[in-house]
Structure formats: C-alpha cells, structure tokens
Structure 1
Amino acid sequence: MNRKQFLKLSSLGLSALSFKQVPTAAVNKPIVISTWDSGMAVNAAAWKILGTGGKSVDAVEAGAISIENEINCCVGLGGYPDRDGIVTLDACIMDEHANCGAVAGLEQIKHPISVARKVMELTPHVLLVGNGAQQFALENGFTKEPAVLSKEATDAYNNWLKEGKYKPVINIENQPKKTFGGPFAPTFFNDGTPNHDTMGLVAMDATGNLSGAVTTSGMAFKIHGRVGDSPVIGAGLFVDNEVGAATSSGTGEEVIRICGTHLVVEFMRQGYSPEMACKKAVERIVNRDKAKAKTLQVGFLAMNKKGEHGAYAIQKGFVYSIKTNTENRIIAAKHLI
C-alpha cells in the first residue's frame, strides 16, 4: 500500500467514526471538591455560588477566600512562618478558558487568591512574586495587614527555633493529634509538629464549566523565598475544560518535578478515571525513587467532565471533601504505600 492509499483509507475510517453516536451519562452538576476535611466549610462557601447557578470561577475564589478569612496554620496570614519568622502566601486560580493567574511569596495581603484573579484578569502575565506581587495588590485596592499567628503557631515556631532544622514527619496525618477549636483549627501531633497542608479546590458549575483554585501559606519553616507547587499552573493546579481538572497537596517539590496536575489531566484525556489518573501520577513520583518516596506525602485530587471525581496519595491519610445536590461528605483517598 502506498502513502496515498493509506491516507485515503485512514480518512474514510475517521469519517465513519465521526458519525458514531456514543451515549453519555448524565453529569451530576454542580459539584465542588476540595482537599482535606477542612474542605467541607470551603465547599459550603463555594456552594453559595454554585447552588444558585453561579460560575465555577467565582465559586472557587469564594471557597478560597473563606479559609483565608480564618485564623489557621496552613492558609492565610495566620499560617506558619518561614524560618525567618515571615509569613508568605501563595495562590493561583484557573478558569474554563485556560485563563490563569498566580502570586507567590506575597506578604501582608489577606486574600492572595483574589490578587491572583486580578493578575489573571488585568495583566498579560500569569505569575507575580514577592514585592512585585504586593505592589500590584496595593495598586489594585488591596491593603496591607500584619500577619497574626495563633498562639499554637507561635509556640510551634519557637519550638522549631530551638533546633533550627526542618524535617517533615512522614505520614503526619495519621499520628495521634489534638486540635484547637473551629473547622480550620491548627492541628498538632505528639511531638508538636504542625500539620501543614494546602487548600485546593475544583468546581463544575451548572453549565458544565470547570475552574480551580489553590491557596496556602506554604511549607512551615521553609527557607525564605521558597515556593512550592501551589501557585504553579500545571503543578498545584490545572484545568482543561474539555477533559477535567486536578489539584494537589503535599511536598510541592515532588509535584513540580512531574508537572503533577497537568499529568493527571493528561491521563484523564487518555481515558483513565480521575482516581486512576491520580494513581498513575503518584506512581510516577514513587517509581523515580522508591526509597525517598517512603519519606514523602503527596496527594492528587481530580474531576473529569462527567463529574466523576477521585484521589490518590503516596501515604495513607489524604482525604478530600465533596459537595453536590445529593451528597456532602469526606472521602478517604486510596494510597500506594
């Protein structure tokens, strides 16, 4: 067979396929999913918009704002400081048109997620950092506010200063712990180690459009200037309105190394379910260095255009929250190790 004959047959085959009608299951929408059990309150804030026919991009911003308003150790101005005692915030947002905006290393601004949205809507850029991000925020109506740590966060930082080293505790989500009131309360474990995580959420509105957002104060006691995966499009968050969306939580450096959420969405494009897509991304991290993986926690959370959702993590302990018209619950993710 020559090339011309091959192309002719191929085009006939594609034409035949294009006329094949494939039934699609009804999508359960609107729907919002978010990382961790603290996502229950975040989902409730997002649902105030989704439940009344609002847009997914507005819903994910509202959800992120709700946790930034709380005094907690993982997100916002109450979050754990870096090793110099400075609270720096990271956030990103992405809508159904692949518009996206992000900020990193932002200081003294209460709502980094809203600054990220301004970056998306008002500039030709995607990511602003440090002093430049703060200057942009101030020029667009935001005001400086001091970071006010909770007593527990202050105590944890002072305890950390005694040794002056950072060593994440493996699988800290599963250790016996105590909390200090409220849905966004800081969580401490037996040795006083803080549980530092990220709030990521993905929503589908009544029209079927997807958006996502991430907000965090980053890794506790990090080197000043460190930026993890959270504000990096394709690492901490990725949205493809034809396929699905994904977000992540855990050791950001490992997520960046594999462009984790973009990878999850590409696996969904290949036909994998959200859970299996997340699993394959986790396997990519683990298989690269199995010994190192035993010391890490990374979790991925995803939703496809059918409204199907799923998650997977390296270690036991990663959970996510879901809210629809018919369910409102926390789901434990499967894990590889």
Structure 2
Amino acid sequence: MKRRKFLKNSSLSTAGIISAPLLASCDQKKTITSNTEAATVKPIAICTWNFKNANDKAWEVLAKGGNSLDAVEQGVMVEEADANNNTVGLGGRPDRDGNVTLDACIMDKDGNCGSVVYLQNIVHPVSVARKVMEETPHIILAGKGAEQFAYEQGFKKENLLTEKSKKDWLEWKKTSKYETIINIENHDTIGMLAMDKNGDISGACTTSGMAYKVGGRIGDSPIIGAGLFVDNEVGGATATGVGEEVIKTVGSFLIVELMRQGKSPQEACEEGVKRIMAKNKNREDFQIGFLAMNKKGETGGYCVHPGFTYRKTTKDSNTNEQVNSFYKKDEIQNNN
C-alpha cells in the first residue's frame, strides 16, 4: 500500500513538472501571438513627398472604416486636382510640344490593376485607371483610346494647361534645354500605399511625367512592377524620380520581392537604390526615391540624393518622414 501510494504521488509530481513547462510554453506562444498582433500598425497611409493634404484625405477614408483602394484613389486625386502642383494632373508641366499628358495606375489587394498612359484632357487619370481595372478585361489603355474610354465612363474633357504652366513652357522654349532637375522641381510623382483595418493593402501612382519631355514619353509611374507594385501577402512599394532607371530594375516589384525574402521595408528600399547605382557608377545627375510598407505596417524609404521625404499617417501620428540617401551632401560637394 505504501509503495502504491509512493508511486502515485511520484507520478503526480512528475506530471506537474512536465506540464508546467508545457503550460508556460503555451502561455509564451499566446504572448508572442498577442505581441505580434499588437505590433501591426493599421490602418496606415503613406505617400511619396510631403503631400499632407493627399495623405489626410486617404486617412479620412481609412478612419471611417473604408477600404484601402478607395483611400489611395481619393488620396492622390487631391494632388491631381491641385493646379498649384505642376507635376501631377491639372496644371502639370507639358511636354516640349505644349501638351499636358498624364500617366497613372492603381492596384488592389487581390492583384487586380489598371493603368492609363499618355492621357490628355482628363483631370483624374487614377480614376480612369480604376475604371480600366474594373470595367474592362485590360490593364493598360493609352493615348486617344484611353481618352475616349474616359469620356464613355462619364469623365469630362478639361484643359489641363494652366496659365502658369503655359507661361513656364513658353519661357523654357527660349532655350529648349532639356535637363533633369534633382527632386520635385521637374519630375515629381505621388505614389501612395494604404493598409485598411482589415490589413488589406492597395496602391496608386499618378504623374504628369518629366517637364518638357519628348512627346509620347512614358516613365515608370503607370507601369505595374516599376512605379508601383502590391502583394497583399507581403506589402507594397512605389517610386518617384527618373522613371527610366526604375523601369530597368522593375524597381517596385524588386522591393516587394526583397521584403518577401525577409528584408524590412527600409532594407529593401536601400537595396533597390543600390542596384540602380551599381549600373550608374559615378552618376549624380538624377534622383530616385523608393517607398515601401509591409504587412505589419512597417515603412521605409531611400533615395539617391538628399531631399526625398514621405508622409506617414496613423491613428497616433501624422509626420513627414526624412529619408536617408545614397549620396550625402558633403560627397556631392566634394565631387563637384
């Protein structure tokens, strides 16, 4: 009897010893899961450059429980309609023939996307791009075909060349000198990424392209995978600057794939710029800026030259984030 009682008590004690770590392990797993969920920042909206009004509009949609696709569309529409922004939409600087031509694309959480290139006389190319995505079996419409489609969808014809843009163009024609000016003066773009309360990511990108470009020139902004790419399992990325260099590396797609491999948004953006610069050794005459966000709501950005920033809005903050660059100011001055 004593032996049976001893064995019984020993078994209970052993069970207690074994179960305690197991229970602790289970509790730890619960804590890790809980912390991971808590670390995810959503909803969140980010955009290239310090376009506060655009990001505020996107946040307004998200804060009301709206989806990320509506948020990015309505966000970038703010800049498309702003005649004072000479690099997007209405008031955009024309090509060398005096035509304001617009490019835009949009991409949703399911990988659906739409794009318009060389679109004229329509203020909101991003909305036309969304119509291409939702109302046609196509992804890209161009030129007159895109314009005719826009009219069929109810968009109004408007003159995009404002008096200021026309005056600047006529002044440029006196020398007709083509040069790429660093940062926003010549070739700015607004690219936007948003994640809604459900954790779904969408993106949009819109531009009037390089000022006084050759008629018909298309940059990276409306090209899915170059100026914008979203994979809802991983995150999204967008670009600004000289589109030709972004296209060569399929920049935004590259950055998303680097995040898939485990890099942070910051690390991925840095790698994206460094790959471009590896092909352009000792070149200092152009700017590229990458912006990325992953599924946790972590963000990052990187650029060739100092000056690029991005606007970031969450429920806790609304900030203009400074971005590190491949070249530093001192290096550029020394090289010159």
Residue 271 of structure 2 aligns with which residue? 280
When the two structures are superposed, what TM-score results if normalisation uses the length of structure 2?
A: 0.85
Question: Where do 5+ consecutive residues of structure 1 fail to align?
Answer: 1-20, 174-193
1:57 equivalent among 57, 63, 69? 69
Instruction: Provide the C-alpha distance between the structure 2 equivalents of 1:30 and 1:150, rounded to a whole number of angstroms.
Output: 39
Q: Percent identity?
A: 53
SS at match of 2:187: coil
CA contact (8 A) 2:98 2:166 kept: no
Residue 245 of structure 1 aligns with which residue? 236
Amino acid in the other structure paired with 2:191: G
SS at match of 2:47: strand
Instruction: Provide the C-alpha distance between the structure 1 equivalents of 2:160 and 2:133, rounded to a whole number of angstroms.
Output: 25
Matched, 1:204 2:195: yes
Residue 303 of structure 2 aligns with which residue? 313
Instruction: Provide the C-alpha distance between the structure 2 equivalents of 1:150 and 1:312, rounded to a whole number of angstroms.
Output: 35
**Residues 25-49 of structure 1, C-alpha deviations (whole Å, 9 max, x = no match):** 5211100000101x21111111121
Instruction: Provide the C-alpha distance between the structure 1 equivalents of 2:167 and 2:135, rounded to a whole number of angstroms.
Output: 40
2:59 equivalent among 27, 47, 52? 47
Residue 154 of structure 1 aligns with which residue? 166
Structure 1 runs of 4+ aligned residues shifted over 3 Å read none
Between structures 1 and 2, the one with greater helix share:
2
CA contact (8 A) 1:200 1:212 kept: yes
Per the alignment, do residues 309 and 125 of structure 1 end up closer, same or farther by CA in structure 2, a change over 3 Å counting?
A: same
Instruction: Provide the C-alpha distance between the structure 2 equivalents of 1:111 and 1:70, rounded to a whole number of angstroms.
Output: 11
How many angstroms does 1:196 deviate by? 3.0
Residue 271 of structure 1 aligns with which residue? 262
SS at match of 1:162: coil
Matches for 1:213-232 after TM superposition, within 5 Å: 213-232=204-223
Residue 80 of structure 2 aligns with which residue? 68
Question: Where do 5+ consecutive residues of structure 2 fail to align?
Answer: 1-28, 328-336
SS at match of 2:219: coil
CA contact (8 A) 1:73 1:196 kept: no
Residue 47 of structure 2 aligns with which residue? 34
Matches for 1:43-122 after TM superposition, within 5 Å: 43-71=55-83, 72-122=85-135
Residue 328 of structure 1 aligns with which residue? 318
When the two structures are superposed, what TM-score results if normalisation uses the length of structure 1?
A: 0.85
SS at match of 2:291: strand
Aligned residue pairs: how many?
A: 294
CA contact (8 A) 2:204 2:228 kept: yes
CA contact (8 A) 1:73 1:150 kept: no
What is the root-mean-square deviation of aligned Cα atoms in Å? 1.4
Q: Which has the larger displacement, 65-74 or 297-306?
A: 65-74
Instruction: Provide the C-alpha distance between the structure 2 equivalents of 1:268 and 1:246, rounded to a whole number of angstroms.
Output: 10
Residue 158 of structure 2 aligns with which residue? 145
Amino acid in the other structure paired with 1:304: N
Instruction: Provide the C-alpha distance between the structure 1 equivalents of 2:312 and 2:183, rounded to a whole number of angstroms.
Output: 23
Tell me which structure has the larger Cα radius of gyration. 2
Residue 8 of structure 2 aligns with which residue? none
Amino acid in the other structure paired with 2:73: E
Matched, 1:300 2:290: yes
1:165 equivalent among 177, 188, 201? 177
How many angstroms does 1:150 deviate by? 4.3
Amino acid in the other structure paired with 2:177: K
Instruction: Provide the C-alpha distance between the structure 2 equivalents of 1:67 and 1:317, rounded to a whole number of angstroms.
Output: 20
**Residues 128-158 of structure 1, C-alpha deviations (whole Å, 9 max, x = no match):** 000010011111111211123242x333212
SS at match of 2:174: helix
Residue 4 of structure 2 aligns with which residue? none
How many angstroms does 1:315 deviate by? 0.7
Instruction: Provide the C-alpha distance between the structure 2 equivalents of 1:67 and 1:288, rounded to a whole number of angstroms.
Output: 33
SS at match of 1:330: strand
Residue 334 of structure 2 aligns with which residue? none
Instruction: Provide the C-alpha distance between the structure 1 equivalents of 2:259 and 2:193, rounded to a whole number of angstroms.
Output: 15
**Residues 24-76 of structure 1, C-alpha deviations (whole Å, 9 max, x = no match):** 35211100000101x21111111121001100000000001111111020111
